[in-house]
Amino acid sequence: MNVKNIRQDFPILKRKVNGKRLVYLDSTATSQKPKQVIEAITDFYETYNANVHRGIHKLSEEATEHYESSRKKIAAFISARPDEIVFTRNATESINLVANSLDWKKGDEIVTTIMEHHSNIVPWLELKDQGMKVKFVDINDDGTLKMEQFGKLITKNTKLVAVTGCSNVLGTINPLAEISKIAHDNKSLLLIDAAQSAAHTKLDVAAINADFVAFSGHKMLAPTGIGALFAKKSLLEKMKPFMKGGDMIKEVTTESATWNDVPYKFEAGTPNVAGAIGFGAAIDYINRIGIDSIRQHEKELIGYALKLAEKEKKMTFYGTKHIEERAGILTFNFENIHGHDVATILDQEGIAIRSGHLCAQPLMSRLSINSACRASFYLYTTEEEIDILFDAFKNVRKVFRID
């Protein structure tokens, strides 16, 4: 990877913040967008803006062609079929779609983990009002899952196992194939929250034998407001639609309605056409660089950051030190200093990180903290930017008189 050349594709990286060059270390929250994606969206609005599927005029046909082309690209990216890809707003909506569309029965159980993002916890907790039960797999001290607990918590009543591909706090990359086997040996379904993993590691839904995979475009170079749900076609055909109206209809009378074929059955109303086209352009960009090259680059970055972290005093760094099991996420705390205060000082240096509970309050409680700081890397991140981050820690120590 030629990171210097890659950075030229991202206009925002030329910005200055507070008079300093922007050091963007918040890609886990949202990635920056290359000019190729921005241009694809602009081209749509300038040359063939129209609604999809319904029109027979030239613009509508072109918009439909590009929209469905993006669906095919996304499907190929994760080794799925196009009719198994439902466009959504984001991973959160994808998970909610599953929670609201599966045929649940009182007494059904969902097994998830303590490291999940709120989006992969709250939809399941809401089902408790209908008589469902939610169980949580714990973590080891190094931030990896206690894998033996899956076998203990999964029972004949477990309908779904819902697990993140990568923790947005710890950076832990979970053994999805192993979890899949445990779930399917029990005839349970497997949902993967791939919001943090799809852009960073190779995801093969066929090899993993995933039943559902939720992911967002904006974390993988695409615009906000566009995401996808992969689901096996046999499951989509059985599931009830989450929302109703628009293109998800096949026929309507004054007495009843019938639904469109999958995946359109789950795409009510006018979709985010521009977002989907941008998503397709983002997939093209990632494919051009190579997902394996991106993964290798991030391994080198997190390895470099962890070596620097060993020299820091009165700081806690969270997560495993085994870079094969870790994404480009560095989460840390200064002793007795709130994460927001640290992030404010770093922002003065032009460094963008994330702070707070990181949408993972159950994990924060498990770690006995109420906030943390998170620096996250992507294909455009450099070792020099990591040096700038660690050098800025000196200002934090100076302000708070940390020796």
Give per-residue pLDDT as tens, 355-370: 999 999 999 999 999 9
Whether 274 contacts 94, CB under 8 Å: no
Provide mean pLDDT across the span 124-137: 97
55 pLDDT higher than 90: no
**C-alpha to C-alpha distance for 298 and 286, rounded to whole angstroms:** 14
- Work out the average pLDDT over 132-152: 97
**54 pLDDT higher than 90:** no
What's the pLDDT band for 120 if we cut at 50, 70, 90?
very high
pLDDT band at 403 (very low <50, low <70, confident <90, very high): confident
How far is Cα 349 from Cα 351, in angstroms, rounded to an integer?
Answer: 6
Task: Give the per-residue pLDDT at 1.
Answer: 84
Q: In degrees rounded to 5, what are phi and psi of residue 163?
A: -140, 145
Judge whether residue 295 has pLDDT over 90.
yes
What average pLDDT does range 302-312 have in this prediction?
Answer: 98
Confidence class for position 66, pLDDT limits 50, 70, 90: very high
Q: Which fold has domain 3-32+290-400?
A: Aspartate Aminotransferase, domain 1 (3.90.1150)
The rounded distance, in Å, linking the Cα atoms of 107 and 74 is: 35
Is-contact 315 337, C-beta < 8 A? no
Residue type, 388: I
| 359 carries an active-site annotation | yes
Cα separation values, 254 from 257, 258, 261, Å: 8, 12, 21
- Give 28-50 pLDDT, tens digit per residue: 999 999 999 999 999 999 999 99
Q: Which of 111, 214, 359, 373 is catalytic?
A: 359
Q: Which CATH number fits domain 37-288: 3.30.479.10, 3.40.640.10, 3.90.550.10, 3.40.50.300?
A: 3.40.640.10
C-beta neighbour count of 39 within 10 angstroms: 13
Across 74-78, 218-222, 243-247, least confident range: 243-247
The pLDDT of residue 247 is above 90 = no
Same fold, 3-32+290-400 and 37-288: no
Q: Where are the alpha helices (DSSP H) in 48-104?
A: 58-77, 91-101
Q: Where are the domains of the chain?
A: 3-32+290-400, 37-288
* Rounded Cα–Cα distance for residues 366 and 114 (Å): 8
Average pLDDT, the chain: 97
Evaluate if residue 96 carries a pLDDT over 90: yes
